[in-house]
Amino acid sequence: MSRLEIPEKFEGFLKPYRYKGAYGGRGSAKSWTISNILVNLAARQQELIVCGREFQNSIDDSVYRLLQKSIERYNLPYRFFKTSIECTTTGSEFIFKGLSKLDAASLKSLEGATKLWLEEAQNISHGSWENVIPTIRAENSEIWASWNPTVEDAPTHQRLVINPPPNSYIIKVNYSDNPWFPAVLDEERRHLRQTDPVAYDNVWEGNCRTFAEGAYFSQQMQDAAKFGRIGLVPHDPARQVWTFWDLGWDDSTAIWFIQPTDTGVFNVIDYWEGANTDLPTIAREVVIARANDLKYSYAKHVIPHDGGNGNRQTGKTDAEILESAGVRPVIVQERTRDKNGDVQNVRLVLPRCRFDAEHCKPGLAALRNYRQERDPKTGLWRFKHGWESHGTDAFRGFAVYQNDNTMQPANDNPRPHRRAAVPC
């Protein structure tokens, strides 16, 4: 068994903290160091370590192979199974989860976890954070995160760097903190510094971009801030509230709460996002609770096209489930296949929107950072699905709907394909 050697900045990871985080640029040995620490720790004492990321379609997407290399490096007594790794002397176990697809039963199975390691944590959504934190509640349990910063708005960066929780140890580490930084990477670093200083600052120095590369609405969101359209936008009890949804079957659900005005301006007063929460619970604890507590009077609730599809187990559509739970009337939008056209609709409506900065904070972050990414195989730009998608897709539904319909009180605009209903 080799002696554990780690960069100096990571020494705090050997001490007890509820939250431990390492963020920074490329070549800083964040993932390697955490992997090395965890496999050595679990070989000395019993641990149940959950290795999580936002999206995991297969074990190949996880840190399984990285942990395997660390174990082999230190010649530690572990056995490797198809979806887990176990220590033969302490009984420690590493398991691997995609947070976006965890249902209630899967979340409950994590309750005995002693450590949660979130790798590529820049992709962890607001909803996933909200769901997973109360699940990791064993005595002295810890939540670890490692990430390359993208934008300051990203939920992980907001939660751990901008507003760090108590009992946390959060470090910024770069290539300069890695005593084993290889020469071949240093050549790449110097080349990028010469050819693209802006990218260099993010990729190698670990500083956040102002807007994500390829952000679709960067100009419109900059203008909204510049011209005072993001600030205090209180609920007007004399006006009805419309809701626009993105339904998350395998990931987060997002809802915007919007009040049209007589001048053509839309007051965006509220936003909610959550993962792995069933529709009756959302109806009761989010939508109806706001009607009771905040006195929201609803006009209509607009959901995407797939909300009209029947569930194979219950035979009910999501629209029917919501209406049965007291959220009505529900409008199921037609499917739009022109995503570029939808993006343009969002760009056109944003100048007519006023956002409440506090109540819409996660949704605003999504709009600021919804972006395209380059296909690694073709080099062409494509739509990126990430933490930014949920809020943006719900807002895209609003942009399309208001472009095709007059947003009047519900009684003045009968619902298509549905029986009349009294709004909650």
Q: Please tell me the CATH superfamily of domain 8-204, with its number.
A: P-loop containing nucleotide triphosphate hydrolases (3.40.50.300)
Q: Which residues are CB-neighbours of 143 under 8 A, at least 6 positions away? A: 18, 19, 20, 115, 116, 118, 133, 136
Yes or no: say if 63 and 56 are a contact pair by the CB < 8 Å rule: no
Q: At 35, which amino acid appears?
A: S
User: Distance (Å, rounded) from C-alpha 272 to C-alpha 256?
Assistant: 7
Please tell me the predicted confidence (pLDDT) of residue 381.
Answer: 55
- Percent of the chain at pLDDT > 90 equals 69
pLDDT per residue of the chain (424 residues) written in tens, 0 to 9: 568 999 999 999 999 999 999 999 999 999 999 999 999 999 999 999 999 999 888 888 899 999 999 999 999 999 999 999 999 999 999 999 998 877 666 777 788 999 999 999 999 988 889 889 999 999 999 999 999 998 888 899 999 999 999 999 999 999 999 999 999 999 999 999 999 998 999 999 999 987 777 788 989 999 999 999 999 999 999 999 999 999 986 678 999 999 999 999 999 999 999 887 889 999 999 999 999 999 999 999 999 998 888 775 677 999 999 999 999 999 999 888 787 888 999 999 999 999 999 999 999 999 998 887 666 666 655 666 778 889 999 999 999 999 887 776 433 433 433 333 333 3
Please report, for the chain, the start and end positions of each structural domain, with discontinuous segments joined by +: 8-204, 218-407
Please give the CATH topology (third level) of the domain spanning 218-407: Nucleotidyltransferase; domain 5 (3.30.420)
Q: How many CB atoms lie within 10 A of CB 385?
A: 15
**Token pair for 303:** 């959901």
For the full predicted model, state whether its pTM sits above 0.75: no
Yes or no: say if 98 and 126 are a contact pair by the CB < 8 Å rule: no
The beta strand positions in 24-89, using DSSP E, are: 48-53, 78-80, 84-87
DSSP assignment of 94-145: EEEEEGGG--HHHHHTTTT-SEEEEETGGG--HHHHHHHGGG--STT-EEEE
